[in-house]
């Protein structure tokens, strides 16, 4: 349905106008573009952006959405918050609520996302065309690439302490490494590859603050930022922090007066195993039912965040167990061998070392119980049977 405001340039572009393009495979999932977008027209991982199809403009009954000078213009005075624009949005990113601007999710081609991206992977075709990033495919089982910035984020997340920092660079002890890929998924700058694959980045929430009273304007933070994301007002010597960034923390480390504060809360890591039992569709309600039938509580759900964690049989617990109570065993399904976790409760001394190294945070120490450890996968496939019973393809045995 065409808009009631039928001006000559109010429901069409006068020339070919292209929507923004994001090189998804190379994305750091830092959310900087999402946070800076004034109309909330970008969602990251899963990726979704306004495609400038103008369905919203044509559906608006009051002319609150209108194309002016090849840009979607929004007039909140005309907006009745009817939601017609959101209903016809082809990507589902359009939304209407009670926050100004009431109607949001339409791209205005302001170019802020292009400018904020720390690795230049956002383009506006025919206007700002950034070259395509080549995704490396290292042959090593695990490798630290040359773009490592030495931030030191990866050593603390390694469940088996296989990573150290040497000469401002991460170094992996391959004899200790269990290839769980948590380091690669956590690395802020995509500098670690496991089995030659670009990692699925962990979402994170960051609390990044500047104490302006402490800041002395030395600009050390801006100089060390690998993505040039910290801006300096040269006139007032004022530091401006980005709303979101990869959160490597290098700036915090060099600040001589402790004026910067950074706290990062990561979502759970995921399995990157090509074989084994993996989550292929994060349908929370179905996975919750799968978790309920798991005999060892290897699938952990979070009611508040509606998130799911699952043992990936990486072997970190078995590697760390001082008594041999936890071991990596073997089981055959459909003629194929798979790893499983084997637990001998009689050998367990309830030290909790395994709980501390579990990269998925599924292991839990249960006191005063015949089986003091839970949260490990024995590959019984009862969860898979439940998923198939519900006829939801959330789990798959690869």
Q: Let me know: does 265 contact 204? Beta carbons within 8 Å.
A: yes
Q: Indicate the length of the chain as a whole number.
A: 398
Q: Let me know: does 109 contact 71? Beta carbons within 8 Å.
A: yes
Q: What is the pLDDT of residue 3?
A: 39
Our CA angle for 206, 165, 251, nearest 5°, is 35
Q: What is the pLDDT of residue 14?
A: 82
Q: Which CATH class is domain 277-397?
A: alpha beta
Q: Residue 381 phi/psi, 5° resolution?
A: 70, 15
Q: Let me know: does 57 contact 66? Beta carbons within 8 Å.
A: yes
Q: Which CATH class is domain 142-194?
A: alpha beta
Q: What is the pLDDT of residue 273?
A: 57
Domains of the chain: which residue ranges?
A: 21-123, 142-194, 204-266, 277-397
Q: What is the pLDDT of residue 287?
A: 94
As a whole number of angstroms, the distance between CA 154 and CA 143 comes to: 13
At 205, list the tokens.
């929430």
pTM score, two decimals? Answer: 0.77
What CA–CA distances, in Å, run from 55 to 2, 66, 73, 96? 9, 11, 14, 15
CATH number of 21-123: 3.30.70.20
| pLDDT, block means (10 residues), the chain with 398 residues | 45 86 94 96 93 96 94 96 97 95 96 96 94 89 94 94 96 91 94 86 91 92 95 82 94 97 88 73 91 95 88 87 92 90 94 89 85 94 94 85
Q: Is the bond into 101 cis (omega within 30 degrees of 0)?
A: yes
Question: Are the folds of 142-194 and 277-397 the same?
Answer: yes
DSSP labels, 49-103: E-----HHHHH-SSSSEEEETTEEEE-TTT-----HHHHH-SSS--EE-SSSSSE
Q: What is the pLDDT of residue 275?
A: 66
Q: What is the pLDDT of residue 5?
A: 45
CATH number of 204-266: 3.30.70.20
Q: What is the pLDDT of residue 320?
A: 85
**Nearest by Cα to 49 from 116, 99, 124:** 124
**Nearest by Cα to 153 from 189, 119, 181, 205:** 189
């Amino acid at each position: 349905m065409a808009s009631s405001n039928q001006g000559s340039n109010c429901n069409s572009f006068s020339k070919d106008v292209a929507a923004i393009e994001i090189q998804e495979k190379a994305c750091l999932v830092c959310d900087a573009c999402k946070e800076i977008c004034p109309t909330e027209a970008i969602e990251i991982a899963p990726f979704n952006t306004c495609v400038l199809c103008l369905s919203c403009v044509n559906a608006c009954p009051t002319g609150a959405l209108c194309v002016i000078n090849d840009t979607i213009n929004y007039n909140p005075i005309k907006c009745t918050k009817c939601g017609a624009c959101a209903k016809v949005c082809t990507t589902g990113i359009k939304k209407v609520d009670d926050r100004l601007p009431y109607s949001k999710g339409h791209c205005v081609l302001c170019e802020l996302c292009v400018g904020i991206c720390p690795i230049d992977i956002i383009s506006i075709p025919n206007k700002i065309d950034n070259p395509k990033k080549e995704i490396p495919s290292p042959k090593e089982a695990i490798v630290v690439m040359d773009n490592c910035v030495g931030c030191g984020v990866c050593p603390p997340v390694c469940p088996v302490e296989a990573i150290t920092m040497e000469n401002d660079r991460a170094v992996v002890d391959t004899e200790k490494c269990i290839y769980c890929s948590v380091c690669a998924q956590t690395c802020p700058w995509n500098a670690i590859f496991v089995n030659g694959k670009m990692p699925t980045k962990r979402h994170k929430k960051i609390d990044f603050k500047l104490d302006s009273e402490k800041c002395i304007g030395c600009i050390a933070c801006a100089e060390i930022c690998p993505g040039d994301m910290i801006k300096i007002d040269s006139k007032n010597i004022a530091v401006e922090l980005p709303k979101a960034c990869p959160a490597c923390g290098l700036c915090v480390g060099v600040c001589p007066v402790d004026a910067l504060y950074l706290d990062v809360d990561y979502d759970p890591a995921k399995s990157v195993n090509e074989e084994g039992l993996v989550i292929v569709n994060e349908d929370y309600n179905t996975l919750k039912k799968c978790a309920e039938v798991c005999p060892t509580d290897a699938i952990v759900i979070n009611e508040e965040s509606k998130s799911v964690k699952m043992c990936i049989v990486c072997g970190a617990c078995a590697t760390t167990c001082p008594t041999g109570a936890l071991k990596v065993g073997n089981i055959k399904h459909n003629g194929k061998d798979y790893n499983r976790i084997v637990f001998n409760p009689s050998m367990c001394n309830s030290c909790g070392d395994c709980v501390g190294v579990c990269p998925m945070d599924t292991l839990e120490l249960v006191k005063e119980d015949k089986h003091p450890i839970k949260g490990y996968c024995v590959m019984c496939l009862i969860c898979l049977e439940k998923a198939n019973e519900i006829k939801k393809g959330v789990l798959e045995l690869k």
